[in-house]
Amino acid sequence: MSDTIETLKCLIIGSGPAGYTAAVYAARANLEPVVYTGPEPGGQLMITTDVENYPGYPDGIRGPEMMEDFKKQAERFGTQVRYEMISKVDFTGPVHKVWTEAGKEIHAHSVIISTGASAKWLGIESEQKLMNKGVSACAVCDGFFYKGLEVIVVGGGDTAAEEASYLAKLCPKVHLLVRRDEMRASKIMQDRVKKTENIEIHWNTSTVEILGEEEVIGARVVNNITKKESIIDGKGFFVAIGHKPNTGIFTDWLAADETGYLIPEPGTSKTAIEGVFVSGDAADKIYRQAVTAAGTGCMAALDAERYLTEKEII
């Protein structure tokens, strides 16, 4: 391993829609960006089968193909894409230091954080087997495919309440599985769910197995009090137990909320540290869409360009 320290104008950490969009804008502005993809190149869209709500794809596109298009566009303007992970950062000085998992030290005049967030899963075998075959973590992304069909949602917080409410507008019946005898969701969200006639809440209920071979047909569940098992029919199974932002290496340096989402200055991508910007789902726990992530990636690159211009680095 070389001991040479590389100095970059613009380092982008993460490679989903936010990271690649930032790279397109940064490369066109002559910032010579380098993208470190992290452990999940392409982000959550790599486990998304069909994307039908991103502008410019009238016939829809598979998530991995879309991310390949983003990557090719970024590379077309000179972005370097490296399939490695940044494991440590030091934001004390005017030039920011980061280290790759292999131990290489990199100095960057600007850093764009686009590490995204990962959906939390139940961790059962059938969940993995039926991923993208009826199992989803995003009702807004995939709910349309289940229009007119019965579906199941798991969770008791605001995310689950929002997902169930959204699906109730598309589906004749939504089964909401809550593992306790109460929901953690805010009172207003609970009231909305309880007042929606086609949402049936199953209290004290946990999932034993998601049923189906090539597609979801239902779930085998257990009542946590009586221990009695039963089958609930449904063509879609939505896991809505929250997301975890991939921001662990940054939270000692940057402002974050109690769950780890980074907090930029309102209306910008700027963090409290000069030259460090954040975009995408690492800072967004509300919308979590590819198109909104891409928009904030654009903002971060423009903010980085202005910062580097003011510092006379470009």
- Does residue 46 fall inside a structural domain? yes
On whether both 51 and 94 belong to a single domain, the answer is: yes
C-alpha span between 134 and 137 (Å, rounded): 10
The predicted structure's pLDDT at residue 300: 98
Contact 101, 85 (CB under 8 A): yes
On whether both 46 and 91 belong to a single domain, the answer is: yes
Q: Is 141 a catalytic residue?
A: yes
C-alpha span between 30 and 27 (Å, rounded): 5
3-state secondary structure the chain: CCCCCEEEEEEEECCCHHHHHHHHHHHHCCCCCEEECCCCCCHHHHHCCEECCCCCCCCCEEHHHHHHHHHHHHHHCCCEEECCCEEEEECCCCCEEEEECCCCEEEEEEEEECCCEEECCCCCHHHHHCECCCEECCHHHHHHHHCCCCEEEECCCHHHHHHHHHHHCCCCCEEEECCCCCCCCCHHHHHHHHHCCCEEEECCEEEEEEECCCCCCEEEEEECCCCCEEEEECCEEEECCCEEECCCCCCCCCCECCCCCECCCCCCCECCCCCEEECHHHCCCCCCCHHHHHHHHHHHHHHHHHHHHHCCCC
- Domain termination residue (choose one: 195, 219, 239): 239
On whether both 193 and 263 belong to a single domain, the answer is: no
Which is the catalytic residue, given 10, 90, 141, 257?
141
219-244: b (≥16 Cβ within 10 Å) or e:
bebbeeeeeeeeebebbbbbbbbbbe
Closest CA to 218 of 180, 167, 175, 160: 175
In angstroms, what CA-CA distances link 171 with 39, 55, 79, 221?
Answer: 35, 25, 43, 21
pLDDT by 10s per residue, the chain, length 314 = 446 899 999 999 999 999 999 999 999 999 999 999 998 888 888 877 788 999 999 999 999 999 999 999 999 999 999 999 999 999 998 899 999 999 999 999 999 999 999 989 999 999 999 998 999 999 988 999 999 999 999 999 999 999 999 999 999 999 999 999 999 999 999 999 999 999 999 999 999 999 999 999 999 999 999 999 999 999 999 999 989 999 999 999 999 999 999 999 999 999 999 999 999 999 999 998 999 999 999 999 999 999 999 999 98
- Does residue 36 fall inside a structural domain? yes
Strand partners, 221: 207, 230
On whether both 104 and 145 belong to a single domain, the answer is: no
C-alpha span between 287 and 307 (Å, rounded): 27
Token pair, residue 306, equals 């202005």
- Does residue 90 fall inside a structural domain? yes
On whether both 129 and 231 belong to a single domain, the answer is: yes
The predicted structure's pLDDT at residue 42: 84
Within 10 angstroms of residue 174's Cβ, the number of other Cβ atoms is 28
The predicted structure's pLDDT at residue 133: 94
Which is the catalytic residue, given 59, 90, 138, 191?
138
On whether both 114 and 248 belong to a single domain, the answer is: yes
Closest CA to 143 of 62, 232, 52, 66: 52
On whether both 127 and 233 belong to a single domain, the answer is: yes
- Does residue 203 fall inside a structural domain? yes
On whether both 219 and 251 belong to a single domain, the answer is: no
What is the pairing mode between strands 117-119 and 61-62?
unpaired
The predicted structure's pLDDT at residue 46: 84
Which is the catalytic residue, given 10, 59, 142, 298?
142
On whether both 51 and 82 belong to a single domain, the answer is: yes
Residue range(s) defining the domain that contains residue 172: 121-239
On whether both 36 and 75 belong to a single domain, the answer is: yes
- Does residue 231 fall inside a structural domain? yes
On whether both 179 and 204 belong to a single domain, the answer is: yes
The predicted structure's pLDDT at residue 168: 98
Distance spanning both ends of the chain, measured CA to CA: 30
- Domain termination residue (choose one: 219, 239, 259): 239
- Does residue 190 fall inside a structural domain? yes
Domain count, the chain: 2
- Does residue 113 fall inside a structural domain? yes
52: domain CATH number is: 3.50.50.60
The predicted structure's pLDDT at residue 1: 44
- Domain termination residue (choose one: 239, 261, 287): 239
- Does residue 1 fall inside a structural domain? no
On whether both 138 and 201 belong to a single domain, the answer is: yes
